[in-house]
Amino acid sequence: MSSSLAADARLAAVAAAQAGVFTRAQATAAGFGATQIERRVRAGVWHRMFPSVYRHASAPASVGARQWGTILWAGPGSVLSHTSAAQIWRIPVASGFAPEVLVPATRAPRVAGVTVHRVTRLREVDVVRVHGLPVTTPVRTLVDLAAVLAADDLRAALEHAFARDVVTVRALGTGLDEIGSTGRPGTARLRALLAAFGSGAVRPSARMAG
């Protein structure tokens, strides 16, 4: 096998686990030089998604590819969050949101088309991996969504999550007590909704229960 074919094979193995997406560093580690990388981009064999992040032309421009591209661009310690995490947990949110990611407060990456949230602390218990992607748990996701969704959208997300057993009222309440600090956006509104759900004043609608 030629060195070029060997490099292609090594990179293909990496990209296959990442929805066809890879970084420049991964391409370099597979054996591609700077000239080879740029040649493939110009030829349309690789599509540049973000700075130093590419998708192979044979891989579809799917939601999964976008999620992987976001995480690979954001770098170590990044986690899909907010509406991006909601998509993974199948919690309905309004369409049109840019990919959202949490990153350590020590870094401040910026790129068009991605919403970055810097956090000083993210507990290990609040992060899981889904098909290899780091994602906030359903509890953390709903706490974060409370800060960005309109009241009706947040209520609908909670209805869905409770009706589908994505999370329970008790688990979310416990998580909110541990995560939600005074002054955190959306905390008061989420507490009020949880109190209503817990008391039975609000119940999942019929369309959610089916």
Backbone phi, then psi, for 168, in 5-degree steps? -105, 160
pLDDT (tens digit, 0 to 9) for every residue of the chain, 210 residues total?
567 889 999 999 999 999 999 999 999 999 999 999 999 999 999 999 999 999 999 999 999 999 999 999 999 999 999 999 999 999 988 766 789 999 999 998 999 999 999 998 889 999 999 999 999 999 999 999 999 898 899 999 999 999 999 999 999 999 998 887 656 788 889 999 999 887 554 555 434 433
Structure tokens at 28: 């370099």
What is the pTM (predicted TM-score) of this model?
A: 0.88
- The beta-strand segments (E) located in the chain are 21-23, 46-50, 53-56, 79-80, 100-104, 115-119, 127-130, 133-136
